[in-house]
Amino acid sequence: MPPKPKMVKEPPKLKGKGPWMTPSGFFTAITVLILAFFPLLPRLLGGVADVKERMFWLLGILRPIIIALDVLGIAFFIFLLTKIWPLQWRPTLFHKRHKKEERKKDPVFVARWADIVGKAAIGTAESLRLAVIDADALVDAALKHSGYEGENMAERLARVLPSEVKSVEGVWAAHRLRNDLVHTPGYELKPEEGKVAVEMYELFLKEVSIL
């Protein structure tokens, strides 16, 4: 014979739980009581003058509490802001990819870099000067291409975090050299510092998979 189906017991009903036992019902009841007894306060407390004095006394007690709650609220808002701010969208020079996946190189960037390498290979002060300036412009173009905003390269480069791109510090040094070459009349470029600057730009472009 097939087994008899088991009877499922219904959960016991909670007694005394009505609409007034909910949070909204509770606060509604408190509000109604306050409105009902408010006109009776002068009689209960001995006149309108006494009520005013007691109200000022009560406000004097509550004022420090309210100020403390305001301070805590502002501190909590600042805490949330520090947690949410890093999560906002910002451009990145590259995204994490699988090790076997390679980023497709932009032929325009590759061709421009080949021209820069050719200038640096000549080794003269003028050719290295042009190589540094062109390499700096190429890195700036890569920043713009990746969505970094700013009035100049320094502002765009400041948005690149060292934790994201380790070679960004070297680019800063090379960029300062580039500014000296462009804005300082008679600046003498040493061949060694020109080669190092080009290498810093190259490390950066390789790290962000432009080259």
CA distance 147 to 185: 33
Record the pTM: 0.56
Read off the pLDDT of residues 90-108 as tens digits, 9 standing for 90 and up.
565 654 444 444 557 889 9
CA distance 92 to 80: 24
Cβ atoms of 187 and 193 within 8 Å: the answer is: no
Rg (CA), the chain: 36
Q: Is 204 exposed, middle or buried (0-12, 13-18, 19+ CB in 10 A)?
A: buried
Read off the pLDDT of residues 145-160 as tens digits, 9 standing for 90 and up.
888 999 999 999 999 9
Q: What amino acid is encoded at 2 in this protein?
A: P
Domain boundaries 107-207, corresponding CATH code: 1.20.120
Read off the pLDDT of residues 38-74 as tens digits, 9 standing for 90 and up.
555 555 555 545 656 766 766 777 778 878 888 888 8
Q: What amino acid is encoded at 82 in this protein?
A: T
